[in-house]
Structure 1
Amino acid sequence: MPRPSPKTLLVALLALAWLGGMLLAYRWFETRYLRPFDERAAVFSGAELRLADELAGPGAIRLVHFWDPACPCNVGNQQHLAELIARYGPQGVEFHVLQKPGSQGRLPAELAALKPIDALPGSAGLPASPAVAIWDRQGQLAYFGPYSEGLTCNSSNSFIEPILEALAAGRRVDASNTLALGCFCDWAEPSDG
């Protein structure tokens, strides 16, 4: 059996080193940026949730998007949220965003219409994101929970369109406590101990 040439050995070692480097890079990327997209249950209770003083009281229908820039579950709802803004913004619905405290990130350009708010009383206890809260024209919390149930979000499985349609028609909605199964990321940091 002939011996491989030094050039062949070098190419084989480089290929092996490249493969090892790619596996290490993928593992680093996976642990740093990818989280499993397994469904989990979350209980959303709006008992403590209030509009900030500058938004409270009678006015427009107000939707607040709870956004964690590091959450991979956002990918499924950002296009849907942009569609909601395009459809209901001209009808007078106000769209706001509350970014997870301590997080860093910028919204995609198609969500530039979201007005940032610094704080929302009661939001520290938010179980998970992405989530949404909707207040009616009288300033009462009408809905608090996820955009939809399941791993993806679009207008065909969304809870939001029927609620906005009912509120726009002047009907009362009270869905401020919900249980949902879907793709969520923790909002509050896990406590030590």
Structure 2
Amino acid sequence: MTTPANQHSPAASGHPHKAFWLSLLIIIWLAATLAGLWWFQQQNVRPFIGADDDARFWQASQAEQLLQPILAPLPAPAAGQVTLLQFWNPGCLCNQLSQRHFDALLHQFKADSLRVVAIAPASASDEDLQSFLRLNGERMDIVRAPAGFTLPASPALALFGPDNRLGYFGAWGFGALCTVANDDFFPAMVRALQNEGYGPFANVAGDGCFCAWPGN
């Protein structure tokens, strides 16, 4: 027995319904993603230096002086060794976005050419410090900032040349996703500090995923 040409099988009639539900699920997923991104931006995207932060961090020469309580207690760097101070707040979700820039430097430079010292807030617990070392390896040191030390925002970094002069202070990147001009931005800076020198340069003007430094 043949099926009339105008009669549809149950399987065929189900296809439009499947397409409808699939399209609806995609729309819901996109809406949820956009809502999550909007919430994230509202909660975390802020200026690196806010209106209530220490305005001296706008100037590289003054930022260098403000960072001396962190740098001074450290041993002198080896010959040709650049020092990276990684300001890390354990309670900041934005650490996840800057981590790729941090990892890139660790992978490109060995310890004898790039010394890495993570700076945690004075309020960080021993468990916080151990968690950081487990995540990033034991190549680096991690110390607590002295009581009363302030910083405009985190995550942030400072790069010092072998002469302990500041080359760079500021953000790892800007925008909601912590972007930089190109992937060689920080590696090129380290190479310059090892050779002819760089800066000083304060890269603090812009909005991005930042958290207030505890104690500010």
Normalised to the residue count of structure 2, the TM-score between the two structures is: 0.61
Tell me the distance in 1 between the aligned counterparts of 2:114 and 2:77: 15
Is 1:64 the counterpart of 2:85 in the alignment? yes
| 1:135 lines up with 2:160 in the alignment | yes
Greater helix proportion:
2
Give the counterpart of 2:195 among 155, 166, 169: 169
Amino acid at match of 2:166: L
CA gap 1:179/1:120 in 2 versus in 1, 3 angstroms: farther
* Structure 1 unpaired stretches of 5+: 1-33
C-alpha displacement at 1:91, in angstroms? Answer: 6.0
SS in 2 for 1:107: helix
Equivalent residue in structure 1 for 2:67, among 42, 49, 69 = 49
Output aligned runs, 1:1-193, within 5 Å. Answer: 36-43=42-49, 44-45=57-58, 46=63, 47-50=65-68, 51-56=71-76, 59=79, 60-89=81-110, 92-104=113-125, 105=128, 106-107=131-132, 109-112=134-137, 113-119=139-145, 124-153=149-178, 156=182, 159-176=185-202, 178-189=204-215
- For the aligned residues, what is the CA RMSD? 3.0
Deviations 1:145-175 (CA, angstroms, capped at 9, x unpaired): 1111222246736752332132123233211
Asked if the contact 2:89/2:214 (under 8 Å) is kept, the reply is: no
1:80 maps to a residue whose letter is H
- 3-state SS of the aligned residue for 2:172? coil
State how many pairs are aligned: 157
**More strand by proportion, 1 or 2?**
1
- How much identity, in percent, do the aligned residues show? 25
Query: Residues 89-138 of structure 1: CA distance to partner in whole angstroms, max 9, x if unpaired?
Result: 256110110112213422164512221123369x8120110000111111
Deviation at 1:178, TM superposition (A): 2.9
Which of the pair has more CA radius of gyration?
2
The 1:68/1:35 distance shift into structure 2, 3 A limit, reads farther
Q: Is the 8 A contact 1:66 1:132 kept in 2?
A: yes
Q: Is the 8 A contact 2:174 2:207 kept in 1?
A: yes
> Structure 1 residues 159 and 178 mapped into 2: Cα distance closer, same or farther (>3 Å)?
farther
Determine the C-alpha separation between the residues in 1 that align with 2:185 and 2:73.
Answer: 27
2:123–2:214: 8 Å Cα contact kept in structure 1?
A: no
| 1:72, distance to aligned residue in structure 2 (A) | 0.4
In structure 2, the gaps of 5 or more residues are 1-39, 50-56
Report the Cα offset of residue 54 of structure 1: 2.9
Which is worse superposed, 40-49 or 61-70?
40-49
Moved more, 133-142 or 154-163: 154-163
Cα separation, 1, equivalents of 2:77 and 2:158: 15
- Partner deviation per Cα, 1:33-71 (whole Å, 9 max, x = no partner): x88454211234414111133335775210010001110
